[in-house]
Each structure stands twice: as C-alpha cells, then as structure tokens.
Amino acid sequence: MSGTIYILNGPNLNLLGKRQPEIYGTSTLADVSSSCAKVGEEFDLAVHLLQSNHEGQLIDWIHEARENAAGIIINPAAYSHTSVAILDALNTFEGPVLEVHISNIHKRETFRHHSYVSSRADGVIAGCGIEGYALAMRHVGALLS
C-alpha cells in the first residue's frame, strides 16, 4: 500500500444503521469501511476508519494523521456546525481533506447549513448516503495519483 486514508467520524455515528434510519439509512460504519477499502485497492490505499463521540479525540487523530495518513475523509457530524477546534486541527494537515455528510445538510434545519470544516475541505459530499464515503475515497485517490 502506498498510503493510508484516515476516515474520521464524529458523535453518534457509532449508531449508524440504528440511528434515525429514515435519515441515515441502515448501513453501518463497518459497511463504510469495507466499501472504502474496496475503492482503496484501486489506488493502492489502505483505510483506517475511526469514530469518537469526543471532540478532543477527533483532534488527536487529526494530529496523528499528520504523521501517518496521506489524506483524511471526515464526517464531523454535529461538530461540523460548532467546532473551530476541528477546523484548526485540519488546517495543520497538509494532504487532501474530504468532508462527507450522509444526509443533505442543506435540506435540513438551518443550523446544519453551515460547516466550519467546509472552509478547509478540498471537497464536500452531502446527501449521497454512505456512498458519499466511497465517492470521497475515489476523489482522494485521484488527487493523490
């Protein structure tokens, strides 16, 4: 493998598949990991999927990615809309950053329309369900090729 992509997931996404399936679907983070690993094979990229309900843990993993990852795919979940700290951490990372939202945040409550992370992201995918992660993986692969 020529590199590793960190796929970081924020609060409540551990419940993906069980949580509000009418919004987020019935697939799980394990499904996300296997679909991204499949795309990664095409680009010689490994995936390392992580999830935390804690802002500081996500920031620590972004710092770790500075040493260990060629790119970051991040669904910051609710922290998208609140966290300057996660934005600041991503601004220390030099590789490609793709932001993914399973739901279309622009079709939902107005407080979800703004994401701090989007000002750092090289691309943003929203509303494509968990397929958005595989699409992001493909784009990161293309950017790194």
Residues that bind ligand DQA (CB under 6 A): 12, 75, 77-78, 80, 101-103, 105, 112
Smallest gap from residue 38 Cβ to ligand DQA (A): 21
Tell me the three state secondary structure of residue 5: strand
> Catalytic: 63?
no
Smallest gap from residue 145 Cβ to ligand DQA (A): 27
Token code pair at residue 135:
């699409």
Tell me the three state secondary structure of residue 23: helix
| Whole-angstrom distance, CA of residue 18 vs CA of residue 14 | 9
> Catalytic: 24?
yes
**Residue number closest to ligand DQA, CB atom:** 77
Burial class (CB in 10 A: 0-12, 13-18, 19+), 86: buried
Smallest gap from residue 80 Cβ to ligand DQA (A): 6
Nearer to ligand DQA (CB atom), residue 9 or residue 59: 9
Nearer to ligand DQA (CB atom), residue 78 or residue 85: 78
| Whole-angstrom distance, CA of residue 52 vs CA of residue 98 | 18
Q: Choosing from 6, 79, 101, 133, which is the catalytic residue? A: 101
Active site residues: 24, 101
